[in-house]
Amino acid sequence: MSTTSLITGASSGFGQAIARQLAEAGHRLILLARREARLRQLAEQLPTDCHVLVMDIRDTAAIARLPESLPADFAAVDQLINNAGLALGLEPAHQARLEDWDTMLDTNCKALVHITRAFLPGMVARRRGHVVNMASIAGSYAYPGGNVYGASKAFVQQFSRNLRADLLGTPVRVTCIDPGLAETEFSLVRFHGNAEQADAVYTGTQPLTAEDVAAAVVWALQQPPHVNINQIELMPTGQAWGPLAVHRDSG
């Protein structure tokens, strides 16, 4: 039986790399994102059947209709890869833009919850399914300017654990992936298209690649059915923790 995987955020970065690796492994793919040309170009390159879904994942009404509106060949989603997400801004909380916070919460938390709720009943009924949630090290470790982005990823981590608790007794698996510094379009998006600021994030160090993160996802998916990989945290070797910050008055 061929496996059907739905990948959100398949037009770039991790999602695109996950699509390439799952296509090589023979999965039939549903590719979801807003940028249609990129999705269609990717679908043409992949050696597998693909269904392109051009949509904004924040459209919760469309997400609710999704399981019933998929073509019959793609309707039984076995693997839901909740990868679409973003950081916007790095300003301290008292200077951050509220509209950026709303966008992160709507995308990273609310949309992820809605699409999961849409596909879980089918997985439980078919007794076959795996949800992979893309969180971040930002959900575990605070940093200046991480404010709502980090909090949204902590939500994804705990939602993943609570899903496991609810799905105990079913064969449906849940995995949370927490990557560290990885070079994709992530920083370009975070800095609202400022390429100079985005490039500086990766200058002089060797970040993770999208392929590194995709390999972790695919490994978790390929474990035997009785093995649930709860959480994977991966960082580039050139990234680690610093000491806690202490403010000292200069006077």
The footprint of ligand 8X3 (CB under 6 A) covers 136-138, 146, 180-181
Window 79-118: contact mask with ligand NDP (x via CB under 6 A):
----xxxx--------------------x-----------
Which ranges in the chain belong to alpha helices (H)? 13-24, 36-45, 60-69, 98-104, 112-126, 147-167, 186-190, 195-202, 210-221
Query: What is the closest distance, in whole angstroms, from the C-beta atom of residue 14 to ligand 8X3 in the complex?
Result: 10
Enzyme catalytic residues: 149
65 CB-near residues (< 8 Å, 6+ apart): none
Nearer to ligand 8X3, 78 or 183 (CB): 183
Report the partner that residue 11 touches, choosing among ligand NDP, ligand 8X3, none (CB closer than 5 to 8 A by kind): ligand NDP
| Dihedral sign for Cα atoms in the order 16, 140, 95, 196 | negative
Window 27-46: contact mask with ligand NDP (x via CB under 6 A):
------xxx-----------
Nearer to ligand NDP, 50 or 128 (CB): 50
Distance CA 43, CA 55 (A): 16
According to DSSP, the residues that pair with 32 across neighbouring strands are 8, 53
Distance CA 138, CA 117 (A): 24
Closest CA to 2 of 23, 28, 21: 28
Report the partner that residue 29 touches, choosing among ligand 8X3, ligand NDP, none (CB closer than 5 to 8 A by kind): none
Nearer to ligand NDP, 57 or 118 (CB): 57
Give every strand in the sheet of 130-134, ordered side by side: 50-54, 28-33, 4-8, 79-82, 130-134, 173-179, 231-234
**What is the identity of the amino acid at 172?**
V
Q: Is 186 in the site for ligand NDP (CB under 6 A)?
A: yes
Query: What is the closest distance, in whole angstroms, from the C-beta atom of residue 146 to ligand 8X3 in the complex?
Result: 6
Task: Give, for 227, the enclosing helix (H) or strand (E).
Answer: none
Residue nearest ligand 8X3, Cβ-based: 136
Which tokens belong to 159?
A: 């939602």
Nearer to ligand 8X3, 15 or 180 (CB): 180
Closest CA to 133 of 150, 109, 149, 151: 109
Nearer to ligand 8X3, 11 or 83 (CB): 83
Residues that bind ligand NDP (CB under 6 A): 8-9, 11-15, 33-35, 56-58, 83-86, 107, 134, 136, 179, 181-182, 184-186, 189
